[in-house]
Structures are given as C-alpha cells and as structure tokens.
Amino acid sequence: MTTAPSETTQHETFLRETLALARESLKQGSSPIGALLVDKNGQIVARGRNRTGEPQTAERVGDASVAHAEMDVFFQAGKLENPQELTLYSSLEPCLMCGGASALLEVGRIVWATADPWGGAGRLLAWSNHPAMQEIEIVPCPFPELETEGASLFAPEAKKAFPDKGWALWRKKYPAETEGI
Ligand SMILES: [Zn+2]
C-alpha cells in the first residue's frame, strides 16, 4: 500500500482527535471510544463518541447499548453525500454493528487506532464475502504509539464489558497495556 505523507499526517491528526473524544466519553461516564467522519478534502463532517452511559437527548443518541461512537457520528452526519469519499476514523476497531453500518452506508475507508481482538469487525470487513464490505478500505492501527495509547485507555472497559475469553484475547494482544488491570 502506498500512503502519501500528507495522508499519513491526516491519519495521525484525526486518530489523535478520536482518542481525545474517547477520553471525554470516559469523563462523562461512557465507554472510552471516539470517532470522526472526514471528507476527501480533510474536512470533518461529524464528530462522535460513545454515549452508552449518558442520557439520550434530542441532538444525541445515548442511554442505550447501541450508542457507540460511530453510530453517534452517523446520526450526526445524517444522509451522506458521496459516502465512498468519506473516511471513518475510530479510536477502536469498529464492532459488528458499526462495521456493518459503515458497509450499509458505503463509507469508503475506515482507519482505527487500536485493535479490538474480541469485538472488532475488521476481520469481517477484510475477509467477508459480502460485496458491500469488500468495498471498504481498512487501515488498522497505523501508529504503534497511538495503538498503545488506545489500548491502555480501553483496557479497563474491555475487562469490565467482555466475557473472560474476550479479556483473554486482550491480554494476549496487549500484554503491557492490560498488565495489572
Ligand atoms: Zn460499535
């Protein structure tokens, strides 16, 4: 894969912002995950973060297990124009729901900071026989430093929210970041 320097810079800038949004979620009592939708010119179309622990409002999804960061972004963005030209950035590898929604909406590309070895849908997006999923370009964990930051941020939630075998996968994938949790 060839990635132009400007594109690399853009990935880094936006992934850092998803991590900042993730920290805001944690502060507000939700799970630490943030997401952005960005157009081909590098303009942010919508910002979102996990809101599962917060009340639902007229403006924002919330107070529901499906109030994931990527769903918040998609609700904010409304009807998408030229979705194939959009990139979804997330601090964590999207789950089946959010990966599926991205395929349904025909988002062109998904970039995430940290893998989710239990709940992530990246494998499905990459290997699925579903034609809409094959249309999505995926860029998993392009920056080791940000991957580590995201893993440390989400690790306590992974232990709390996932079954033992899910947590075991996290321990295996991110031994340093899950140590002592
Ligand atoms: Zn999700």
**More confidently predicted of 57 and 42:** 42
Mean pLDDT confidence for 18-26 = 98
Question: Does 27 or 132 have the greater pLDDT score?
Answer: 27
Query: Does residue 7 carry a pLDDT above 60?
Result: yes
Left if phi > 0, otherwise alpha if psi is -120 to 50, otherwise beta: which for 85? alpha
Catalytic residue among 7, 54, 59, 70: 70
Is 4's pLDDT higher than 80? no
Q: To the nearest 10°, report the CA torsion of 24, 27, 31, 35.
A: 0
Q: Where are the alpha helices (DSSP H) in the chain?
A: 5-27, 69-77, 96-104, 122-127, 131-134, 144-161, 164-173, 175-178
Average pLDDT rounded to a whole number, residues 145-151: 98
Distance 94 CA to ligand 1 centre (A): 5
- Sheet of 137-140: strand order equals 44-49, 34-38, 87-92, 109-114, 137-140
pLDDT band at 1 (very low <50, low <70, confident <90, very high): low
In the residue annotation, 24 being an active-site residue is answered as no
- Burial class of residue 171 (count of CB atoms within 10 Å of its CB; 0-12, 13-18, 19+): middle
| 51 neighbors 72 (Cβ within 8 angstroms) | yes
For the ranges 22-31, 52-61, 145-154, the lowest mean pLDDT is seen at: 52-61
CB atoms within 10 A of CB 116: 24
For residue range 50-99, list pLDDT tens digits in order.
Answer: 999 998 888 888 778 889 999 999 999 999 989 999 999 999 999 999 99
Question: CA nearest 117: which of 140, 152, 146, 93?
Answer: 93
**Centroid of ligand 1 to alpha carbon of 148 (angstroms):** 20
What is the mean pLDDT of the segment spanning 29-38? 97
| Average pLDDT of the chain to the nearest whole number | 93
pLDDT of residue 64: 81
Identify the sign of the CA torsion 43, 142, 137, 88. negative
Q: List the shell of residues around ion ligand 1, using CB closer than 5 Å.
A: 68, 95, 97-98
Average pLDDT rounded to a whole number, residues 12-28: 98
Percent of the chain with pLDDT over 90: 81
Q: List, in sequence order, every residue forming a beta bridge with 90; answer none if it has no partner.
A: 35, 112
- Identify the band that residue 3 occupies on the pLDDT scale cut at 50, 70 and 90: low
Going from the Cα of 17 to the center of ligand 1, the distance in angstroms, rounded, reads: 18
Is residue 5 pLDDT above 70, yes or no? no
Tell how strand 44-49 and strand 34-38 pair up: antiparallel
Cβ atoms within 10 Å of 34's Cβ, excluding its own: 31
Percent of the chain at pLDDT exceeding 70: 97
pLDDT of residue 155: 98
CA of 144 from ligand 1 middle (Å) equals 22
Residue 135 confidence (pLDDT) above 70: yes
Contacts of 150 (CB under 8 A, 6+ apart): 19, 22, 91, 92, 113, 114
